[in-house]
Amino acid sequence: MVTLKQIALEAGVSIMTVSKVMRDYPDIAPKTKERIRAIANQLGYVPDAAARSLRTRSTHTIGVVVPNINQAYFPRVFVGIEQVAKARGYKLFLAHSNDDPEQETAEIRELLSRKVDGLIIAPANRLDGNFEVFTLIESRNVPLVIMDRHPSQLGNLLHVVSDDRQGGYLAAKHLISLGHRAIAILTGPASCPSTQERTEGYRRALQEAGIAHRDELVFTAGHDVADGQKAAAELTNERTKCTAIFAHNDMVAIGAAEFFLQQKWSIPDDISIMGYGDVQSAQYYRVPLTTIRQPQSGMGQLAIQVLFEKMAGRPTESRRMPVEVVTRSSTSFPKATASKK
């Protein structure tokens, strides 16, 4: 293993000078730093992370816990986190809770045992409202940022989320603007904060337009394509009359669209379908999806920037990121309205 002494001998400087260069001390001339670092690279020097951790009481690691890495959304969020982390010289530990609170607790305990400098967590959905593990994080004084989902039980914990109420409102308002008045909603799990907020926004848009809320137009779906197919089948089995569907996310929307296309329906002529998220497959699906564009890599970047602010002891605050409508081919005027155009 290459040592500081070997680098010093090769560079013709003291070991102390090499040590200062490796720790980026300001009293060493830039040209000297550049020359010594070049020699270190040529010799294959690798800094001792464990020794650095003992000196600085920092592991230069961040723990990230997400509910599902198989969804199209969270991998892109993680890319944003990783970009900022690498630029700051931090390594990441990624854990997947599978949307299971017990697994999430186990993953968080493991990350705490690794002495991570901070945590970014998109919480698992909880039916029982038990968030004790977050109290444990606070008791360890580990900086924490809640990302994407902010359950009300977590109170004022620092968080970075997208504006899901506004997203639900914009989605319904877009469909209403096309002339739709019977708009079904395929929601996510009831325990998911984004489900509650998007549904609130949807209902507000209906109310503003003077459209009565109808329980028979609300169907619980989930997060993936199979959930969307199942919800669409349930909708048709119950002979629910609607001209448009607003889905909890793009994968649910694609699942619903697949079901209707298999039934020889035309999208958007027979039914309009709107997603949420603007994942990559939304744009390239065979009927490109109208959707709500939700920050993805941008959310990850902002979450870790807020975490670094907290780790540095600087004043910081929670952020709610804006969303917007992206109009594509899956929505149009309902048939009755289109015939009058």
CATH no. for residue 25?
1.10.260.40
Tell me, yes or no, whether 278 and 211 share the same domain. Answer: yes
pLDDT classification of 56: cutoffs 50, 70, 90: low
Please check the confidence at residue 305 and state whether its pLDDT lies above 70: yes
Average pLDDT, the chain: 92
For residues 155 and 72, membership in a common domain is answered with yes
Whole-number percent of the chain with pLDDT over 70: 94
Global pTM value: 0.80
Q: Is the pLDDT of residue 7 over 70?
A: yes
Q: What is the pLDDT of residue 49?
A: 57
Q: How far apart are CA 274 and CA 288, in angstroms?
A: 10
Same domain, 117 and 177: no
Do 330 and 209 have their domain in common? yes
Helix (H, G, I), strand (E, B) or coil at 212: coil
- Model confidence at 285: pLDDT above 70: yes
Please state, in angstroms and rounded to a whole number, the distance separating the CA atoms of residues 155 and 193.
13
Q: What are phi and psi of 329, to 5 degrees?
A: -85, -10
- Mean pLDDT for 145-174 is 94
217 and 287 in a single domain? The answer is yes
Residues with Cβ within 8 Å of 121's Cβ and at least 6 positions away in sequence, in order, are 64, 65, 104, 108, 144, 145, 146, 147
Q: Is the same domain home to 272 and 178?
A: yes
- How confident is the model at residue 130, as a pLDDT? 75
Provide the residue range defining the domain that includes 38: 4-47
Does residue 337 register a pLDDT over 70?
A: no
Same domain for 205 and 132: no
pLDDT class for 341, splitting at 50, 70, 90? very low
- Write the DSSP symbol of residue 23: T
Q: How high is the pLDDT of residue 339?
A: 40
